[in-house]
Amino acid sequence: LLFLFFLSRAASVAASGTQPNPPTWPASVKVFSPSDDPAYIEATVRAAFASNGGDTPSDHGQFSLSRFAFLFRPGTYHVDVPVGYYTQVLGLGASPQD
């Protein structure tokens, strides 16, 4: 029954054309561009790393309930970002076919 609800909801969103593009991301998802300040990017990712355990304790957030995704638009970045449990770092293509 739950599956049917989601299926009908997805169909109604697609039919009505109300889905925003780009999507409205939750706070746990950040999209960066090469024009963003490298210090801002590093601080954002380090804050997520720290909230998921950081370097201490030894499990580094293995049992955390938080999830993060960091998406990088095409370009060159000179940043150092730690990646812990339940964190995705993704490079976006220049076109939808990439």
- pTM for this model (two decimals): 0.72
Q: Kindly give the parts of the chain with pLDDT less than 50.
A: 1-7
* pLDDT attached to residue 95: 79
Q: Residue 74: is the preceding peptide bond cis (ω within 30°)?
A: no
Buried b (16+ CB within 10 A) or exposed e, 36-75: beeeebbebbeebbeebbeeeeeeebeebeeebbbbbeee
* pLDDT attached to residue 4: 46
